[in-house]
Structures are given as C-alpha cells and as structure tokens.
Amino acid sequence: MTHDPTFWLLARAAGLTAYAVLTASVLAGLVLKSRPFGTTLRPAAVTDLHRTLTTLGLGALALHGLALIADSTVHVDLPSLVVPGLVGYRQLPVALGVLAGDLMLLVIASFRLRKLIGARNWRRLHWLTYVVFAASTAHGLLAGTDTSRPWALGLYLGAVGAVAAATAWRALVPPLPTRPRGATR
C-alpha cells in the first residue's frame, strides 16, 4: 500500500499560505495605525483589507488543520488542533503553532467583542498579534518540512524583516495627522 501525499501537500501549502496571509494582515494593521503612506491610503479601505486578510488567514489555517487530520503522515486529531502539546511530532514547534492558532482566534473574536470589552482592552488584546506572528514563525521554521528550501527560508526571513521594519516605523515615526473629511490641500 502506498501513501497518498495529497493531504500532506495540502497541509503544507495551506500552512505556508496562512503564514503569508497572517504576515500581510499584520502589515496592514501596522499601516493602518502608523500611516506610512500619508493620506494616500484611506483608513476605511485599509481596515477592510486588514479584516479580509484576517478572514482569509483563518480560512487557510482551518484548511491546514483539516488537511493534517485527513493525512496519515503525522497523527493529528481534532483536539490536537486546539490543545498545545498533544501532537508527538516535533512537539514544541507544533505546540507553538497550535498556541498561535488559538491566540489568532482570540484576536479575531475580539473584533466582534470590541464594544463589550472596550476600545482600550481591545487594543491591548491586539498586542497578542506579535505573539501570534512570533509563534507562527517559530512553528514554520522548526516544524515546517520546507524550511530548508531557499524559497521557504526567504519567505520567513522576508516576513520577519517586513514586520520588524513596519514595527520600527510605527514606534519611531509619529503618524501623520488625519485630515478632516472634505478638506482639500
């Protein structure tokens, strides 16, 4: 009996896609807050992009998990997708990936709970995005079977570099003041 690699390949592709989309979502969130392009980008459009990317990232993450359950290469069951440490394969890196997924769900759920928990707590909760990104990066680098390939390593290094640069911009450069609606230059 031969092993059908379809679900293993799907799991890998979906995991890398989820990581790339997560990176784009983090960058969109940083652009929204720091406004590095001045008034060229409308905040409402960037917010919509950020939410869309977040939803797409969640979908890719779900596909990653479901494909791992369907595959026979590594034993993964439904509880293993939400409880860190249940998968025996590369236990710590996989646990970091599960933790990142759990925290990602928490941050996404906070969008709907923003009025209930208040804007200040919502912003504090959003700082977990950096933990999600760091844990996802560690998960991919340490558990990903494609990490040794130059293109995959380039993806991770590029993502970390982009998020680090955007974070530095946000921390070091004061955001431009917003123009009132209807104001002209």
Domain ranges of the chain: 6-172
Read off the tokens for 148: 């040794």
**Axis crossing angle, helix 128-143 with helix 6-34, rounded to the nearest 10:** 150
The structure tokens 């996802």 sit at 136
- 71 residue type, one letter: D
Q: How many other CB atoms sit within 10 Å of the CB of residue 77?
A: 10
pTM of the model: 0.88
CB-count exposure of residue 115 (10 Å: 0-12, 13-18, 19+): exposed
Is residue 21 over pLDDT 60?
Answer: yes
113-159 pLDDT, tens digit each: 889 999 899 989 999 999 999 999 999 999 999 999 999 999 999 99
Instruction: State residue 183 phi and psi, 5-degree precision.
Output: -75, 145
Q: Looking at the predicted structure, is the pLDDT value of residue 51 above 60?
A: yes
Cβ-in-10-Å burial (0-12, 13-18, 19+) of 68 comes to buried
Both tokens assigned to 40: 């060229």
Give me the pLDDT at residue 137, please.
Answer: 97
Convert the pLDDT of each residue in 80-120 to its tens digit. Answer: 999 999 998 899 999 999 999 999 999 998 888 889 999 89
Q: Cα angle vertex 125, ends 58, 86, to 5°?
A: 55
Nearest Cα residue to 103 out of 134, 80, 72, 129:
129
pLDDT value of residue 39: 66
